[in-house]
């Protein structure tokens, strides 16, 4: 079984948080050998993104979700930073603005979907509307329950229109989250990250776990599967995400487009 298959949530399966070990490294070690592999993977990722931008026959949407401190920002910084900014766009989704709240919940999401040739990265996403909204009872249950099918339909629409979707759930343990929050309190280089909301949300851990179980079970589809990334070890998180993105690009089987002019007839004066 290849690396992607090991991490993918089988469409139609019912999963539990306990099915996945957030500390797993799949036999890899944090050593020079793995770092060398990672360097080669990131170099390959850069080359493939250049090719993807040149071909422009589809878009790639990368969705990042996870508990607070799971490493969404860190993944973007350490994995996606190697891509050319010209062909890569990051969109964070926080609480909806008044304008966004005046529309359907997918309106602001659809606006941010990347065009062909662009890699779009969502730091949080449409899934906040079946996670935060559910946990904090911001809308009636019948409203958020209907959104699973609405999200699946939305992702089907994107897929049929040339948007390939990769959904990554960064999976950390409750103990690891506590450790990372403590680091933010004591490390001067990280205190700027402190958010009272992160600490307040921790008491809803079990509620979020239940909500994520439903998201991963109900919204992992053939067109847009979920991948569960063990994220207790940051180095492995970055390694796993890099490998998934490289395999995704390679599966597109891309070739550089032909020149639009006859280059043999062009002369420099």
pLDDT digits (tens, 9 = 90+) for 179-231: 999 999 998 888 888 888 888 899 999 999 999 999 999 999 999 999 999 99
CATH classification for the domain delimited by 3-24+33-252, as one of 3.90.550.10, 3.40.50.700, 1.20.58.220, 3.40.50.300 = 3.40.50.300
For the chain, the domains span: 3-24+33-252
Give which of 212, 232, 119 is closest to 166, Cα–Cα.
Answer: 119
CA nearest to 158, candidates 254, 54, 51, 63 = 63
Percentage of the residues of the chain whose pLDDT score is greater than 70: 100
Q: State residue 108 phi and psi, 5-degree precision.
A: -70, -25
Residue 56: helix, strand or coil by DSSP? coil
- Beta-strand pair 119-123/59-66: parallel
pTM for this structure?
Answer: 0.95
Tokens linked to 247: 């395999």
Residues 237-255: pLDDT tens digits? 999 999 999 999 999 999 9
Which positions ≥6 away from 77 have C-beta within 8 Å? none
Query: Taking the CA atoms of the chain, what radius of gyration do you get in angstroms?
Result: 20
């Amino acid at each position: 079984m290849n690396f992607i298959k090991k991490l993918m949530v089988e469409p139609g399966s019912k999963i539990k948080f306990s099915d996945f070990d957030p500390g797993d490294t799949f036999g890899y070690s944090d050593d020079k050998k793995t770092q060398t592999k990672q360097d080669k993977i990131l170099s390959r990722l850069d080359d493939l993104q250049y090719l993807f931008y040149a071909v422009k026959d589809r878009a790639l949407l990368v969705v990042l979700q996870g508990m607070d401190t799971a490493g969404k920002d860190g993944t973007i910084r350490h994995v996606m930073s190697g891509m050319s900014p010209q062909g890569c766009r990051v969109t964070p989704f926080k609480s909806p603005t008044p304008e966004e709240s005046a529309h359907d919940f997918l309106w602001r999401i659809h606006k941010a979907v990347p065009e062909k040739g662009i890699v779009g990265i969502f730091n949080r996403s449409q899934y906040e509307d079946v996670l935060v909204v559910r946990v904090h009872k911001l809308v009636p249950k019948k409203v958020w329950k209907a959104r699973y099918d609405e999200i699946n339909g939305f992702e089907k629409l994107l897929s049929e229109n040339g948007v390939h979707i990769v959904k990554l759930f960064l999976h950390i343990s409750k103990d690891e989250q506590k450790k990372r929050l403590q680091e933010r309190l004591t490390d001067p280089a990280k205190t700027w990250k402190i958010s009272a909301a992160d600490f307040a949300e921790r008491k809803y851990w079990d509620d979020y776990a239940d909500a994520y179980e439903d998201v991963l079970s109900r919204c992992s589809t053939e067109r847009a599967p979920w991948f569960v990334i063990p994220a207790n070890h940051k180095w492995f998180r970055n390694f796993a995400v890099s490998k998934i993105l490289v395999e995704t690009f390679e599966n597109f089987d891309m070739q550089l487009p032909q020149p639009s002019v006859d280059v043999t007839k062009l002369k420099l004066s």
